[in-house]
C-alpha cells in the first residue's frame, strides 16, 4: 500500500477505537503497530479524547500527516475488543487497504443492543440498585417502571441531538419528580432510595475509571479531559435533582393538595 493509504487506514482504526471509549495508550499503540507492520517504523501519534494526529515518515525522509476530529464518543467495549482483534490480524496478515476499510465498516455497523433491551436494562439497574440501597420490593417495582421511562426521555433527547450536559440535567429532574409522584400516589415508600437507584443509570462511573487509567498511564492531558467530563456530568445530574426537589416538587405538592 502507498503511504497515504497506510495513514488513512491506521487513522481510521484509531478513530474507531477512540470513539468507542478506549484509552489513549491503546489508540496510540494500535496505530504505531499497524504502521510498523507495513514498514513505517517512524510514526508519531498524538491522541487526546477529541482529536488524533498521525505523522508517518518513510526511509527517504518524506512524511505525511493526518488529523481526525472526534465529535462524539460512546462506550462500546465489544467494538473496542473487535477492533483490537482486527489490529492484531492486520499486523499478522498485512491485508490491502480496501479489505481493512471493509472490515472497519463491518465492525462499525455491527449489531448493538436493541432499544427494548436498553429500556429493560435501565429498568433493571434502577430496580436492583434501589434494593441495594435499602428499598423494598414496591420501591424496586416503581423504580423499574420509572427507569424505563427515564431511558425513553433520554432517547428522545438524544434524537434531538441535545448536549449530554442538558440530557443529564433533564434526567436528574425527571428522576426526582418521578420518584416523588410515585411515593405521593402510594406506589412506593422510599423516595430517596429510588432516586439513588435510578441515578446509577446516569452516574459517570466508566468515565471516571477511564480518567484514572489515563493518569496511571501518564497520559495527563487525556486524564484531565476525561476527569473534567465526568465532573461536568455529575454536576448536570446534581443540578437536575436539586432544581426538581427545590422548585418542581414543592410546586407539584401545592397542586396535589
- DSSP states of 183-237: HHTTS-S-HHHHHHHHHTTT--HHHHHHHHHHHHTT-HHHHHHHHHHHHHHHHHH
**How confident is the model at residue 35, as a pLDDT?**
93
The radius of gyration of the chain's CA atoms, rounded to the nearest angstrom, is: 23
Structural domain spans, the chain = 3-108, 115-256
Task: Give me the pLDDT at residue 163, please.
Answer: 85
Query: What nine digits make up the cell of 160?
Result: 434531538
Predicted confidence at residue 256, as pLDDT, reads 64
Task: Provide the β-strand partners of residue 57.
Answer: 42, 63
Task: Name residues of the chain where pLDDT drops below 70.
Answer: 256-257
- The predicted structure's pLDDT at residue 257: 60
Can you give the pLDDT at residue 207? 82
- Exposure string for 100-110, b = 16+ CB within 10 A, e = fewer: beebbeebeee
Amino acid at each position: 500500500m502507498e503511504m497515504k493509504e497506510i495513514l488513512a487506514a491506521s487513522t481510521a482504526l484509531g478513530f474507531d477505537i477512540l470513539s468507542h471509549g478506549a484509552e489513549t495508550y491503546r489508540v496510540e499503540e494500535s496505530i504505531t503497530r499497524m504502521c510498523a507492520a507495513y514498514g513505517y517504523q517512524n510514526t508519531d501519534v498524538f491522541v487526546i479524547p477529541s482529536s488524533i494526529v498521525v505523522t508517518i515518515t518513510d526511509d527517504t525522509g518524506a512524511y505525511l500527516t493526518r488529523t481526525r476530529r472526534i465529535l462524539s464518543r460512546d462506550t462500546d467495549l465489544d467494538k473496542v475488543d473487535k477492533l483490537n482483534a482486527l489490529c492484531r490480524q492486520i499486523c499478522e496478515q498485512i491485508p490491502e487497504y480496501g479489505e481493512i476499510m471493509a472490515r472497519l465498516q463491518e465492525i462499525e455497523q455491527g449489531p448493538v443492543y436493541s432499544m427494548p433491551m436498553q429500556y429493560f436494562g435501565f429498568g433493571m439497574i434502577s430496580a436492583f440498585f434501589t434494593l441495594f440501597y435499602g428499598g423494598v420490593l414496591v420501591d424496586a417495582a416503581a423504580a423499574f417502571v420509572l427507569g424505563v421511562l427515564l431511558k425513553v426521555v433520554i432517547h428522545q433527547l438524544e434524537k434531538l441531538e441535545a448536549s449530554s450536559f442538558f440530557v443529564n440535567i433533564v434526567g436528574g429532574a425527571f428522576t426526582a419528580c418521578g420518584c416523588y409522584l410515585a411515593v405521593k400516589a402510594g406506589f412506593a415508600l422510599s423516595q430517596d432510595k429510588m432516586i439513588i437507584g435510578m441515578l446509577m443509570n446516569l452516574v459517570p462511573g466508566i468515565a471516571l475509571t477511564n480518567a484514572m487509567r489515563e493518569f496511571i498511564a501518564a497520559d495527563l492531558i487525556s486524564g484531565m479531559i476525561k476527569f473534567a467530563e465526568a465532573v461536568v456530568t455529575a454536576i448536570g445530574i446534581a443540578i437536575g435533582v436539586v432544581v426538581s426537589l427545590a422548585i418542581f416538587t414543592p410546586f407539584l405538592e401545592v397542586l396535589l393538595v
